[in-house]
Structure 1
Amino acid sequence: MSPADDPQAREPASSGTPSISESTSEGGKHITPKDTLGLGSGLIPASLTLGFDSSSLATPTESLLDPYVGGEVEEGLSSGRRGIRGADGPHTETDPLLDSHSSVPHGGRGEVVHIHPERDLTGVWSWPEGLKQLTALARLASPIMVASGIQNLNSIVGIVILGHMGTLELAVATLALTIYSFSAIAPLLGLLTALDTLCSQASTGSRRPGMPGIYLQRCLLLCYLSFIPAIIMWWNVRPILTYLRMDTEVVNLTAYYIRFLIPQTFVACTFEAIKKFYIAQGLHRPIAVIQITCTLVGLLFFYILAVAPVTSVGIVGIPLANFCSYSLNLGVAIYWHQTRGRKIGWAGFSWEATKGWGRVARLAVPGAFMVSTEVVTFDLLTLAMSYVGTTALAAQSIFMITIQGVTLILMSLGVVTANRVGNFLGLAMPHRARLVAWTGLGSGIACGLLMAIGLVVVRNHWGAIFNNDKQVQLIVATVIPLLSLLIVSQALSLLCTNILRGQGRPQIVAVINLIVYYVIVIPAGAVSLFYFKLGIVSLWMSLLAGVWLSALSVLYVVLRSDWDEEVVKCRHRLAHDHRRYLRESPELLSGSEAE
């Protein structure tokens, strides 16, 4: 049946929305709406199509498309073109991602999405499809997981070197890194979470192949501007620490050390943004190989700048070595993308990146609050342990290392899930997006349960791996059952948070975290510790209750998701930038589309 004979395609067209064959005029220029992701059926208003041709959509990469439509990826190494072999023969990058009689809802809740069954699912759970998505998630998340683990070597090596320098140097670095964590790195990483939504959806759903690069530039500019207050504070941190009546020697050395973290932060932020840019477009393996190789090579900088007697510059050699390591990662990542990566998703630097910050900020600012609330809560928890005693603080360091490792695994899976959800929404495939969400959520909970059970099994020996103090080992063995429950809730919370991030709804998570952590967890922990004198277990029980409340809250939001509506929101988000692009490039309206 042709689109013209399809009653579902005719009905909206008769209500005032132009069909594929009809034309409209805008600004005195003649526009012929074309089919974009099946939007020409009329179920999406013409304002969301804007005459964009699906044949010129950004070309997804091999790992991006592979499990999406259940086809076999064909890659022409000589021509650099990719296609998908579906049930009706090979498709190339110039074919529409959805057939012309496909459709997505035009904005009302509860409307049925009609999408070609060869491209999207029917809404019914399919075990073969579920296993396919599970395999894809494992394949895509594993290199990111390994790369992130290798990157943590920088932190471990830095702490070991500082520990051998002396107690004063280690104390200074700990204080400086605490300030660095809550005042810079947590907010900046939170701002960058906007790319999980924008780049993933634009890489598959945008008319413009270079739109992910525009989003990358906007987000980086926002991060650079947001970092300015932290720079001012770091440059004048000495009077702040003096006011807090800290040791004079520690204050002076910390004020000197923290200034060297400024260039490291700039480069680290830029590299993390480019890493998200890679992942959103399915370039998981290249960025993982780059990160692993450059990080291992970058360990030489630590020896040269902080260990070797001839070239060592003392305590500041650690941030300088980190700066060199991140710079190496960043340089190789940019070089690979501009040469071997065919500049996928990138159309060069553009003044357009200085405009349209509103949509980026609406995703980035809640992301900053979302990450910062958790980081500040755990920092305050560690600070509170210092009031309990040295033994409790030593046990807390073991717990934090454990949580860091668990979070590393879960975040790798969560980031891949968020980007694949965004990719499918960009492709106008709500059922596949939902399938990926549930598959990722189930995988995350399973991983959390396995790690929690394993931790309980070795609870009597876990503390001995890190510390020889019997009292510390006893505290670790006592708290590990609570820590195991926290790991399960953390798995649920992280995966649900990333699903909502892929949808473009981080505001909900930010509000939930602000209420749970600042209204419930921190006050309850303070009262139980300082008023009732219940000790370390009370702090962990307060944190456990808060994380479970947060996890169940975001799970409820995910369960209530209207995936059809999320496709419409995605189209609105992309169409906003399309309209600006056409206004600033009027020659496109006359049909002379320049690549």
Structure 2
Amino acid sequence: MDGEINEKLLGGETQAKESVDEEVTLKEKLWSESKKMWVVAGPAIFTRFSTFGINVISQAFVGHIGSTELAGYALVMTVIVRFANGILLGMSSALETLCGQAYGARQYQMLGIYLQRSWIVLFFSSIILLPLFIFTAPILKLLGQEDTISDMAGYIGLWFIPVIFAFSVSFTCQMFLQAQSKNMIIAYLAAFSLVLHLILSWLLTVKYKFGVPGAMASTMLAYWIPNMGQLLFVICGGCRETWNGFSTLAFKDLWHVIQLSLSSGAMLCLELWYNTILILLTGNLKNAEVSIDALSICLNINGWEMMISLGFLAAASVRVSNELGRGSSKAAKFSIKLTVLTSLSIGFVLFLVFLFLRGSLAYIFTENEAVAKAVADLSSLLALSLLLNSVQPVLSGVAVGAGWQSTVAYVNLACYYLVGIPVGLVLGYLLNMQVKGVWIGMLFGTFVQTVVLLIITWKTDWDKQVTLARSRVNKWIIADNDGSNPRTSDICES
């Protein structure tokens, strides 16, 4: 009986909110939603540009040290680091769903608890991933990569161990702050870190000739400096509503967080590992070093554009989760449409630009004419990737905001691994189209996945999603009605 009453009250509340929304003109709705979207998307895009810029700066300086070093770094980044990054980023996206919906439902006290639970889960996940970086060289040799490149990658892989633990702190703090639209601090710290990394990389690799150790030492600092700033901001009063100190409640109901984290991890891992397999397949083709170098440069350029799309992914996730938690299905749908169209418009402009630039940007990363020519040959596929990537990540953000991670994991598995990779193998190996054939197959898989996600989003009953979001929030609320104080320690508070 109580459940029926609550459901009727929720339905009445939702209808009341949506009747008010109908009175607002379309122009006002566009302006209001655009401001809310860009409050999240703007800093998120800048932060991701800055963070991705750390990798590009490192790769650029390593690339000018030598071709083998560049290939080794590219393998570590696109195979080992991307694998680990996919797991940690995917698992931390559970926090994005929980914090976003709780914040929309005004259950502010839960955000800090969710953050601490996510820290625990990701810390132990990082420890489990350590063997990948300790045994990078034999793993890559087992996957069929050349011995010289694998040995260099094994050396570089050891330098990335501190970076993996940095990911655990960075991803969780960013999602915690984004859910509250407090991500300007993340952008400022990322900008500072990028400038510092550029200066240190030049000093350590060009001026003082420390080579790979100099480039990697600068990379480690570039990842950890923003983390310390974010932690201090959260703990020392930047989030007074949502952070109430460290609490033993963080150890309660961890299994529920682990379950959502695993489904989130599966969804994003299957996406991020897709390009990893592209690199691995390329490593078994003719003239592997040139192919890997050329493809890694294309993926770097593609990665720059992905930072824009990932910014909109964050915006879609925050806006959808906030509106579902607030109880407004119409606002959630309107936000999805606006975010997808905005990202697609930017992607189309970049598609045209890179279609005509061709391989001229390759010389930023290498002085090798053969590599630059190979990049030019792949430019049309690069431009098409930019266009597809302007839509697909945004739809993934919608899935994270609504809590569909398990469903999208199955979609990714089918479209990427049962469609894209087999088509790429046939074109690349059987039809001898080499790296172009492999990439065409992978793009086809991305296209199919994008279409499927569009259909799922279009056919979703968003009123039902509001009910599910409220149920999720109410299920995990820790009501402070037992008289106990969840705070066990406070830092930096007067």
Q: Does 1:378 align with 2:363?
A: no
Higher RCO (C-alpha 8 Å, min separation 6): 2
TM-score (norm 1): 0.73
Match of 1:420 in 2: 319
d(CA) in 2 for partners of 1:532, 1:220: 47
3-state SS in 2 of match to 1:349:
coil
Structure 1 residues 353 and 307: CA distance shift in structure 2, 3 A: farther
Match of 1:442 in 2: 341
Q: Which of 451, 454, 458 in structure 2 is aligned with 1:559?
A: 458
3-state SS in 2 of match to 1:343:
coil
Structure 1 residues 506 and 270: CA distance shift in structure 2, 3 A: same
d(CA) in 1 for partners of 2:265, 2:210: 34
3-state SS in 1 of match to 2:327:
coil
* Sequence identity (%): 22
Match of 1:347 in 2: 244
**What amino acid does structure 2 have at the position aligned with 1:381?**
L
Match of 1:94 in 2: none
Q: Does 1:147 align with 2:50?
A: no
- Once the two structures are superposed, the pairs formed by residues 10-21 of structure 1 within 5 Å of their partners are 16-17=1-2
**What amino acid does structure 2 have at the position aligned with 1:272?**
F
- Once the two structures are superposed, the pairs formed by residues 189-588 of structure 1 within 5 Å of their partners are 189-207=89-107, 209-237=108-136, 239-240=138-139, 254-302=153-201, 309=208, 315-339=212-236, 341-386=238-283, 387-389=285-287, 392-459=291-358, 476=375, 479-578=378-477, 581-582=478-479, 586-587=482-483
Query: Cα offset for 1:504?
Result: 1.0
- Once the two structures are superposed, the pairs formed by residues 100-139 of structure 1 within 5 Å of their partners are 103-105=9-11, 113-116=14-17, 121-122=21-22, 126-139=26-39
Match of 2:487 in 1: none
d(CA) in 1 for partners of 2:276, 2:332: 35
**What amino acid does structure 2 have at the position aligned with 1:128?**
E
5+ residue gaps in structure 2? 485-494
**What amino acid does structure 1 have at the position aligned with 2:482?**
P
Q: Which has the larger radius of gyration?
A: 1
**What amino acid does structure 2 have at the position aligned with 1:557?**
I
Query: Cα offset for 1:467?
Result: 6.7
Query: 2:359, 2:379 within 8 Å by CA — same for their partners in 1?
Result: no
Query: Cα offset for 1:123?
Result: 9.8
- Note the alpha carbon deviations across 1:66-100, whole angstroms, 9 max, x for none: xxxxxxxxxxxxxxxxxxxxxxxxxxxxxxxxxxx
**What amino acid does structure 2 have at the position aligned with 1:399?**
C
Structure 1 residues 469 and 249: CA distance shift in structure 2, 3 A: closer
**What amino acid does structure 1 have at the position aligned with 2:2?**
T
Structure 1 residues 453 and 135: CA distance shift in structure 2, 3 A: farther
**What amino acid does structure 1 have at the position aligned with 2:5?**
G
Query: Cα offset for 1:241?
Result: 5.2
Structure 1 residues 488 and 245: CA distance shift in structure 2, 3 A: closer
Query: Cα offset for 1:445?
Result: 1.7
Structure 1 residues 502 and 393: CA distance shift in structure 2, 3 A: same
d(CA) in 2 for partners of 1:541, 1:419: 33
Query: 1:104, 1:567 within 8 Å by CA — same for their partners in 2?
Result: no
Query: Cα offset for 1:510?
Result: 1.1
Q: Does 1:44 align with 2:29?
A: no
Structure 1 residues 325 and 397: CA distance shift in structure 2, 3 A: closer
From the two aligned structures, give the one with the greater helix fraction.
2
**What amino acid does structure 2 have at the position aligned with 1:17?**
D
Between 1:284-293 and 1:418-427, the stretch displaced more is 284-293
d(CA) in 2 for partners of 1:115, 1:416: 25
Structure 1 residues 458 and 320: CA distance shift in structure 2, 3 A: closer
Query: 1:206, 1:574 within 8 Å by CA — same for their partners in 2?
Result: no
Query: Cα offset for 1:495?
Result: 1.2
Between 1:284-293 and 1:185-194, the stretch displaced more is 284-293
Match of 2:59 in 1: 159
3-state SS in 1 of match to 2:188:
helix
Query: Cα offset for 1:280?
Result: 0.9
Query: 1:190, 1:368 within 8 Å by CA — same for their partners in 2?
Result: yes
3-state SS in 2 of match to 1:44:
helix
3-state SS in 2 of match to 1:121:
helix
Query: Cα offset for 1:370?
Result: 2.4
d(CA) in 2 for partners of 1:242, 1:470: 27
Query: Cα offset for 1:440?
Result: 0.6
d(CA) in 2 for partners of 1:261, 1:449: 35
Query: Cα offset for 1:549?
Result: 0.6
Structure 1 residues 542 and 180: CA distance shift in structure 2, 3 A: closer
Match of 1:57 in 2: none
Query: Cα offset for 1:269?
Result: 2.3
5+ residue gaps in structure 1? 1-15, 19-40, 46-102, 107-111, 589-595
**What amino acid does structure 1 have at the position aligned with 2:352?**
I
Query: 1:363, 1:505 within 8 Å by CA — same for their partners in 2?
Result: no
Query: 1:524, 1:542 within 8 Å by CA — same for their partners in 2?
Result: yes
d(CA) in 2 for partners of 1:188, 1:429: 31
Query: 1:492, 1:555 within 8 Å by CA — same for their partners in 2?
Result: no
Query: Cα offset for 1:188?
Result: 0.8
Over the aligned positions, Cα root-mean-square deviation in angstroms equals 3.2
3-state SS in 2 of match to 1:533:
coil
d(CA) in 2 for partners of 1:394, 1:308: 25
Query: 1:149, 1:408 within 8 Å by CA — same for their partners in 2?
Result: yes
Query: Cα offset for 1:556?
Result: 0.7
Query: Cα offset for 1:199?
Result: 1.0
Match of 1:37 in 2: none
3-state SS in 2 of match to 1:587:
coil
Query: Cα offset for 1:465?
Result: 7.0
- Note the alpha carbon deviations across 1:227-278, whole angstroms, 9 max, x for none: 2232134334455456668776766554444233222211232022111111
Structure 1 residues 336 and 167: CA distance shift in structure 2, 3 A: same
Q: How many residues align?
A: 482
